[in-house]
């Protein structure tokens, strides 16, 4: 079996994934707005040899019929939050090898400014940065806040294609590798290696020179998690590392095959895309012990959170439907995945499921061996390249995974023994590839190599 890669899911908020477990005594996420919290997470992740910490992000807030329900403030559900690129910078400063992957929205960011922010981080970190490209499922309230028009679901992916063309031109085409000479007797930069970019797309225009020189990775490692047909096609064109939600081996296998087929259809190799599944676990000495632990997590949550949180992701107020309503009767322009994945179930089923784990992975409950077995089995049967550990409580669940599960995976040879070095792309894709390969569409933005 191949060696799996591991990332740690984080979010610069008191809660994540549409749940609210911040009241649990072992959860430190209520301290998400302190530097001490992020320093500890960064150090813990580097010492454990996670390949990266992933910082999720959302814009907007939970909205039920035009109002942000009071429970959102009471439980710290959707707000407040910090900017993931600032938190990411703090983690980069605290570490030497850890990758940091940040979520950025093509709907709400401006490509020219965003390209500079990501390139600055890639430069300062020595090539340890990834970007999770999102079209923003929670767009309805976010566009109000930004004062921009709502863009329908599939069109947001066309907008994303256009956004990518601008940032590729800036990251890959504006400055050639080796343009900076820093020669005090000669020149700082070679003017023949600095180029004007020009982009006139359907959504974005940009003309002129890029702010940042070529960084260690050129383009940060591109993460993506779209699950709708438009989302998968976009991921197949651009994504290097695709997140899939949790599910059975059959569901994950189908999703992983579809993503690799999309990559191949775009002229890339099926193996150019790494597929990582969201994964959560509650580990105990015995299965009963693990179950009791999970009960305590569920008891720490107010059941009212589920209605507000489902509405935030989908715009749908489930409390206004009879519990026996089939989910197939509902439609959204927000996250379609969060409606489609409940086909065959009722509104009542969804509220129960959402209370347990929201949009996040359904936790595997068991002993360390049980959890390691599930990881190996899923990876094998669904052809996965790695897992994104989503802690049920933080850092409690992560420490349990590090102390009890990771050593078993290492012993079985399916997790790296540790000490991996290099850029984030090299850690994930293999040595010798700090920048994107020629098959990736970003390569088309590179200038013809200047004469020496």
Ligand X SMILES: Cc1cc2nc3c(=O)[nH]c(=O)nc-3n(C[C@H](O)[C@H](O)[C@H](O)COP(=O)(O)O)c2cc1C
Q: Which residues are annotated as a binding site?
A: 57, 103, 153, 157, 228
Residue by residue, what is the 3-state secondary structure of 41-106?
A: HHHHHHHCCCCEEEEECCCCCCCECCECCHHHHHHCCCCCECCHHHHHHHHHHHCCCCEEEEEEEC
- The span of 30-38, 202-210, 225-233, 362-370 binding ligand X (CB under 6 A) equals 225-233
Smallest distance from the beta carbon of 233 to ligand X, in angstroms? 10
Smallest distance from the beta carbon of 279 to ligand X, in angstroms? 9
Buried b (16+ CB within 10 A) or exposed e, 286-295: eeeebeebbe
Q: At what angle do helices 347-357 and 305-314 cross, to 10 degrees?
A: 100
- The span of 56-64, 188-196, 205-213, 252-260 binding ligand X (CB under 6 A) equals 56-64
- For residue 1 the two structure tokens come to 């079996």
Task: Please select the residue that binds ligand X; options are 243, 342, 354, 387, rule is CB under 6 A.
Answer: 243
Residue nearest ligand X, Cβ-based: 231
Is residue 428 within 8 A of residue 240, CB to CB? The reply is: yes
- Rule CB under 6 A: say whether 134 interacts with ligand X: yes
DSSP letter for each residue of 388-432: EE--SSTBHHHHHIIIIIHHHHHHTTSB--S---S-HHHHHH-TT
Smallest distance from the beta carbon of 275 to ligand X, in angstroms? 11
Nearer to ligand X, 95 or 337 (CB): 337
- Rule CB under 6 A: say whether 247 interacts with ligand X: no
Question: Which residue's entry shows tokens 């026996």?
Answer: 324
- Rule CB under 6 A: say whether 88 interacts with ligand X: no
SS3 call for 356 = helix
Binding mask 274-313 for ligand X (x = CB under 6 A): ----x-----------------------------------
Nearer to ligand X, 3 or 228 (CB): 228
Number of residues that bind ligand X (CB under 6 A): 21
Nearest-5° Cα angle at 382, 372 to 256: 130
Task: Please select the residue that binds ligand X; options are 103, 219, 309, 394, rule is CB under 6 A.
Answer: 103
Contact footprint for ligand X (CB under 6 A): 56-58, 103, 132, 134, 136-137, 225-228, 231, 243-245, 278, 335-337, 388
């Amino acid at each position: 079996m191949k060696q799996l890669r591991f990332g740690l899911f984080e979010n610069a908020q008191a809660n994540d994934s549409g749940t609210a477990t911040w009241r649990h005594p072992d959860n430190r996420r209520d301290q998400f707005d302190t530097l001490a919290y992020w320093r500890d997470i960064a150090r813990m992740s580097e010492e454990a040899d996670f390949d990266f910490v992933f910082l999720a992000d959302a814009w907007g807030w939970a909205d039920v019929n035009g109002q942000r329900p009071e429970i959102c403030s009471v439980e710290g559900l959707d707000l407040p939050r910090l900017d993931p690129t600032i938190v990411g910078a703090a983690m980069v400063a605290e570490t030497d090898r850890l990758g940091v992957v940040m979520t950025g929205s093509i709907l709400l960011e401006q490509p020219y400014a965003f390209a500079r922010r990501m390139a600055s981080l890639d430069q300062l970190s020595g090539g340890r940065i990834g970007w999770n490209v999102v079209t923003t499922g929670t767009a309805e309230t976010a566009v109000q806040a930004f004062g921009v028009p709502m863009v329908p679901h599939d069109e947001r992916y066309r907008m994303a294609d256009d956004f990518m063309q601008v940032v590729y031109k800036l990251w890959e085409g504006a400055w050639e590798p080796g343009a900076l000479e820093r020669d005090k007797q000669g020149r700082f930069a070679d003017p023949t290696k600095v180029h004007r970019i020009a982009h006139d797309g359907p959504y974005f225009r940009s003309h002129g020179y890029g702010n940042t020189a070529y960084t260690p990775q050129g383009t940060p490692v591109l993460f993506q998690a779209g699950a709708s047909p438009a989302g998968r096609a976009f991921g197949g064109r651009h994504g290097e590392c695709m997140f899939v939600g949790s599910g059975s081996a059959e569901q994950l296998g189908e999703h992983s095959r579809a993503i690799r087929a999309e990559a191949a259809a775009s002229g890339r190799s099926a193996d150019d895309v790494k597929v990582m599944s969201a994964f959560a676990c509650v580990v105990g000495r015995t299965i009963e012990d693990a179950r009791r632990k999970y009960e305590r997590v569920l008891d720490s949550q107010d059941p009212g959170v589920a209605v507000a949180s489902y509405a935030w992701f989908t715009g749908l107020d489930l409390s206004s439907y009879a519990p026996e309503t089939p989910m197939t009767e509902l439609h959204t322009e927000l996250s379609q995945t969060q409606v489609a994945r409940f086909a065959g179930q009722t509104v009542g089923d969804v509220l129960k499921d959402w209370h347990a784990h929201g949009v996040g992975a359904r936790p595997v409950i068991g002993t360390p061996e049980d959890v390691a077995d599930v990881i190996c089995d899923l990876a094998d049967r669904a052809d996965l390249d790695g897992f994104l550990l989503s802690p049920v409580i933080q850092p409690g669940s992560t420490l349990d995974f590090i102390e009890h599960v990771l050593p078993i995976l290492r012993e079985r040879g399916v997790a790296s023994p540790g000490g991996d070095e290099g850029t984030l792309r090299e850690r994930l894709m293999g040595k010798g590839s700090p920048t994107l390969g020629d098959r990736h569409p970003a390569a088309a933005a590179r200038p013809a190599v200047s004469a020496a």
